[in-house]
C-alpha cells in the first residue's frame, strides 16, 4: 500500500515540472507581464496573444480559466487601479482627473467614471478630495 502511495506522488526527476495549481501557465504569465508593462499604451488582444505565443482564443480561454477575468476585464481593472493610485499621489496632485484617466488609456470620461465608481464605490473626484494631500 505505501509503495502505491509513494509511486503516485510526483517525482522530482520527472520530465514534467510541478507547478502549484494556482500558478498561472507560462502563456498567461507572459500576457500579464506584458499588459502590466504596457498599460498606458494601446493594447490589442492579437498582439498580447502573439507575445504569449498562443492564439487569441486560447489566450481568452486560458486567461479566464486561470484568473477569473477576461484579458479585457483584467486590463480595465489594472488601469483603474493605476488611476486610483495616481489620484492619491502627491506627484500627480496638480494633474486633472481627466489627464490621469487618459494617461492610463481611458478615452471616454463618462465610461471611466462609471467603471471607477463601480469598483471603488465613489467617484474619482471623491477620491481626490479624500486624498491625504492638500491641493
Q: 65-90: per-residue pLDDT in tens?
A: 999 999 999 999 999 999 999 999 99
At 8-64, the pLDDT tens digits run 433 433 334 334 456 789 999 999 999 999 999 999 999 999 999 999 999 999 999
Cα–Cα distance between 99 and 90 in angstroms, integer?
Answer: 15
Percent of the chain having pLDDT more than 90? 77
For residue 63, how many other CB atoms are within 10 A of its CB? 28
How many CA atoms lie within 13 Å of 23's alpha carbon, on the beta-carbon side? 6
The CB density around residue 57, as the number of other CB atoms within 10 Å, is 10
Amino acid at each position: 500500500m505505501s509503495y502505491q502511495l509513494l509511486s503516485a506522488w510526483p517525482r522530482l526527476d520527472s520530465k514534467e515540472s510541478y507547478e502549484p495549481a494556482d500558478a498561472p501557465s507560462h502563456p498567461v504569465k507572459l500576457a500579464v507581464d506584458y499588459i502590466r508593462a504596457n498599460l498606458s499604451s494601446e493594447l490589442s488582444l492579437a498582439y498580447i496573444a502573439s507575445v504569449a505565443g498562443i492564439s487569441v482564443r486560447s489566450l481568452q480561454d486560458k486567461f479566464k480559466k486561470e484568473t477569473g477575468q477576461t484579458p479585457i476585464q483584467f486590463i480595465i481593472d489594472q488601469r483603474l487601479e493605476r488611476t486610483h493610485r495616481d489620484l492619491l499621489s502627491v506627484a500627480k496632485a496638480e494633474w486633472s482627473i481627466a489627464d490621469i484617466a487618459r494617461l492610463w488609456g481611458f478615452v471616454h470620461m463618462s465610461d471611466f467614471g462609471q467603471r471607477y465608481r463601480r469598483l471603488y464605490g465613489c467617484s474619482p473626484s471623491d477620491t481626490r478630495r479624500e486624498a491625504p494631500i492638500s491641493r
